[in-house]
Amino acid sequence: MAKRWIAALALVSLGVLVGSRVDSVAEALGRVAATNETVAVPLPLRLEVFGEPVPVREADIAEFLSRELHANTYWHSNTLLMLQRRPRWEARVRTWLREEGVPEDFVYLMAAESAFQPTAFSSSGAAGLWQFMPATAKEHGLRVDAQIDERYHAEKATRTAAKYLKNAYAQTGSWFLAAAAYNMGLNGVIRQMERQGERSYFRMTWNDETGRYGFRIAALKLILEHPEDYGYHVRAEELWREEPGRMVPVDSSIAHWGRWAQREGTHYRELKRRNPWLRDAQWDNPDSARIELELPEKR
């Protein structure tokens, strides 16, 4: 059986790829989806991310992609949570990315950064869906202070990330290199392009983190778009979907967010859950700046 399984994996493709599956592909994917054994995850014959081809027929590229496919297929808790959270954020994020003029596949970069968790916070101090560092966020126009931290504001952080990526693309000519710039910084990518005389992410040598980054995004696209092929089965009622709500403008100081929320027919936890960018229990607003808060619909 082991020898037949290895042979079946010699040539495989996935549903997101151009072309049709062969019997060995269906058999291989069926093993991943149905067995409790730890088995090799099939690789695609062809794959595009951000509209750019991934040269998966090159041996080292195939190995790099395989590493990330295995890591995320068998990191069951994290991948399962991503699948459950995805409906809450994906449609909105794709809309914002499209409006900013960057490929919608960057939703998978966001997944690689935060696993669709809007309150994600790393040991290095990066925060939010797009994992901005404080200095980088401020540099690109996001407010980060004790009372408001817009790294946790889904729309503002997404549009800021999209602008960064679009600028990186303009300077590198590749969306994969723009993704690498998101990971290691644009100046670092440009230095490596000049040093190595290359303009392709896949023909360049990177540090381990940046070298894995593009392949992690590609692997997440494969898994999240076709979860059943990788053994993930989540029923519709188990998905955490976008919740209906209403936007409420505020342009005055708020002495106590909890009491304000109660007057609006909700409570402090729900206010903070929908608006995690509010970082304090009050808001000092001497300049009468206007903000908009998401609240649940009135019952």
Decide if 115 contacts 140 (C-beta within 8 A): no
**179/218 Cα distance (integer angstroms):** 11
Residues whose CB falls within 8 Å of the CB of residue 14, separated by 6 or more in sequence, listed in order: 25, 29, 42, 44, 47, 222, 226, 229
Q: Which helix (H) or strand (E) holds 157?
A: helix 154-172
Q: What is the three-class DSSP state of 59?
A: helix
> How confident is the model at residue 120, as a pLDDT?
97
Whether 13 shows a pLDDT value over 90: the answer reads no
pLDDT: is 298 or 51 the higher one? 51
Rounded mean pLDDT, 248-269: 96
CA 168 from chain centre, in angstroms, equals 18
Q: What are the extents of the domains in the chain?
A: 87-207, 243-296
φ, ψ for residue 121 (rounded to 5)? Answer: -145, 125
pLDDT tens for 106-124 read 999 999 999 999 999 999 9
Please state at what angle helix 186-196 crosses helix 175-184, rounded to 10 degrees.
120
The closest of 65, 59, 71, 60 to 17, measured between CA atoms, is: 65
* Strand boundaries in 23-112, DSSP class E: 48-49, 52-53
Q: Are 121 and 127 in contact (CB under 8 A)?
A: yes
Q: Domain spanning 87-207 has what CATH number? A: 1.10.530.10
Mean pLDDT of all residues belonging to the chain: 90
Worst-scoring range by mean pLDDT, 43-47, 159-163, 172-176? 43-47
Could you tell me the pLDDT band of residue 39, with boundaries at 50, 70 and 90? confident
* Coil/strand/helix, residue 294: strand
- Residue 26 confidence (pLDDT): 67
**Contacts (Cβ under 8 Å, ≥6 apart) of 76:** none
Percentage of residues in the chain having pLDDT higher than 70: 88
**What percentage of the chain reaches a pLDDT higher than 90?**
83
Which positions ≥6 away from 6 have C-beta within 8 Å?
A: 40
> In this structure, is the dihedral angle defined by the CA atoms of residues 147, 149, 150 and 152, taken in order, positive or negative?
negative
pTM for the complete prediction? 0.86
